[in-house]
Homo-oligomer: A and B are copies of this chain.
Amino acid sequence: MTNDRFHLYDTTLRDGAQKEGVSYTVDAKLEVAALLDRLGVGFIEGGWPGAVPKDTEFFRRARSELPLRHATLVAFGATRRPGGTADGDRQVRALLESEAQAVCLVAKADLRHVSDALRTTPEENLAMIEDTVRLLVGEGRRVFVDCEHFFDGYQNDPDYALRVVTRAWDAGAEVAVLCDTNGGMLPMRVHRVVSELRSRTAGRLGIHCQDDTGCAVANTLAAVDAGATHAQCTANGYGERTGNADLFTVVGNLVTKMGMDVLPQGCLAEMTPISRALAEIAGEPTDSAQPYVGSSAFAHKAGLHASAIKVRPELYNHLDPAAVGNTMRILVTELAGRASIELKGRELGLDLAGRTETVGRVVDRIKDMESRGWSFEAADASFELMLRDELGQGVPPFFRLESYRVVVEHRADGVVTSEATVRLHADGERIVATAEGSGPVNALDRALRDALKHLRPELAKVELTDYSVRILATGQGSDAVTRVLITTGDDRHEWTTVGVHDNLIEASWLALEDANRYGVLCGPQPAACAGS
């Protein structure tokens, strides 16, 4: 089942959950594990049964609720306590009771931590490793040993660090995992140390890196290059402090740069959607600049080179984005010329070939609008609406604004209220709608949607999912121009629109108007719109 030549090992559910702000419920853990299995990782570390009640519960439920296609579930735990026996150690028993087929034990590999944190002797630490590994192996478990603080320990006392590694192997552990727990290593040193171990020993080596020098990925690759055949990573690099080596970046590099077949056939293209789904479950924002899977990873501010990118995209991308389930995007900016507009049109399914005059008009309009603070880079839906208008393939205006009024009051009793009234004309009718909201934009959004709901029932499912404000031209304070981006979604897709005005509320209104126009464009004929 697992790819045993190389262990792709995920510890999102244990080490990843150390990230500030991340905390998984048991349900969330089951979802995460299912997604990691779909990606095809070999091992999923599920948590620390016995120590963390939620993790005990996770392993219990996983037995019936988590059918795994590719992965082996791993329980994380510690070696027995100093002075006791492995068999009599409750924490060790809980690892067996979890029924996980594999166990990853953490062991101290730095003498200073043995004395100061574990408060035991160097010999007892080795005995703790040996006893615990032997017991678990005797019970039929596959055992990995995380040699904590290994690289610092190896610098401090190489002989002792090496004894930890060999004692683990001698007791029956399958892999000794070299951990850069404090994350202070650079790839040159990791490569040297792993090469030394490789030349002096014969057991299987693994690697586990934290990102405190921004080199967790590079350190992992350096270790693999030097002979490690087991790599511990976390999804999107979640983890304590600066995080761990990012699973997606490590896999992208191993497969596409180092030619290693670490995922089952066809799984590489699942990386992008799975990365985003895992961010959603963790409640973390996606990182647009994340290698391979970020939304900007293959985005180009085309400018001068748009025509060259159009003809030979492979000269400007280090990889075909489709290989990892991502897509190339051409960003529309003031520097953009005709070629990038045509390219963008093609991306949106609008053929602009031969429409020289239209393209010229669009370029002029963008330049003019961007000089006044508009930006379409992040607002594909507003761009598409404008392009369709110019092409005569737009959404005919289905309402006309007469006026709106937004009132925010901080009342004498201390309560803050927001109320908006919109007056529209549509289908020969005059519609007046009023709504309250948690703030002025929320009230305006509700009033507009309330006014439109009978006319365009497809807008009932649409809702505002993100709102951001940027003040442009600093130095003028609240007199400055305000740019508002609004992301809106229904049950199928999301789209982003932009509004710019001196007045924050009017800027928000303009973005809301576009958001609803685009919702109507998408509503009845989903194929017509590019929102995703």
Contact = CB atoms under 8 A, between A and B. Distances in A.
Stoichiometry, copies per complex: 2
Contacts of A406: 407-409, 440
Interface in A453-501: 463-480, 482, 486-487, 501
A301 to B, nearest CB: 6
Contacts of A416: 501-503, 505-506
B257 A184 contact: yes
A449 B212 CA distance: 42
A11 interface: no
Main SS class of interface, A:
mixed
Interface residues of A, number: 122
Contact of A242 (B187, B191, B297, B478): B297
Nearest to A468: B471
Contacts of A377: 20-21
B112 A213 contact: no
A465 B439 contact: no
Contacts of A486: 477
Interface in A9-34: 18-21, 23, 25, 27-28
Interface in A259-309: 283, 285, 288-292, 294, 296-301, 305, 308
Interface in A374-414: 375, 377-378, 401-412
A25 B289 contact: no
A241 B300 contact: yes
Given A23-B375, A503-B418, A186 B218 contact: yes
Interface in A327-368: 331, 335
Contacts of A28: 474
A409 B402 contact: no
A325 interface: no
A117 interface: yes
A474 B23 CA distance: 12
A476 to B, nearest CB: 8
Contact of A474 (B187, B214, B466): B466
A477 B504 contact: no
Given A299-B241, A504-B441, A378 B474 contact: no
Contacts of A305: 117
A90 interface: no
B404 A298 contact: no
A312 interface: yes
Given A296-B241, A441-B478, A186 B407 contact: no
A66 interface: no
Per CB-CB distance, the 5 closest pairs between chain A and chain B, nearest first, are A184-B318, A218-B218, A442-B478, A464-B477, A214-B249
10 contacts: A19-B289, A20-B377, A117-B305, A188-B221, A212-B291, A212-B318, A218-B219, A408-B506, A439-B502, A477-B487
Given A27-B474, A215-B215, A285-B474, 8 more contacts: A20-B331, A21-B375, A186-B258, A213-B253, A406-B408, A439-B503, A440-B504, A463-B477
Interface of A: 18-21, 23, 25, 27-28, 52, 110, 112-113, 116-117, 149, 182-184, 186-188, 191, 211-215, 217-219, 221-222, 225, 237, 240-243, 246, 249, 252-253, 257-258, 283, 285, 288-292, 294, 296-301, 305, 308, 311-312, 315-319, 331, 335, 375, 377-378, 401-412, 416, 418, 423, 437-442, 445, 463-480, 482, 486-487, 501-506, 509
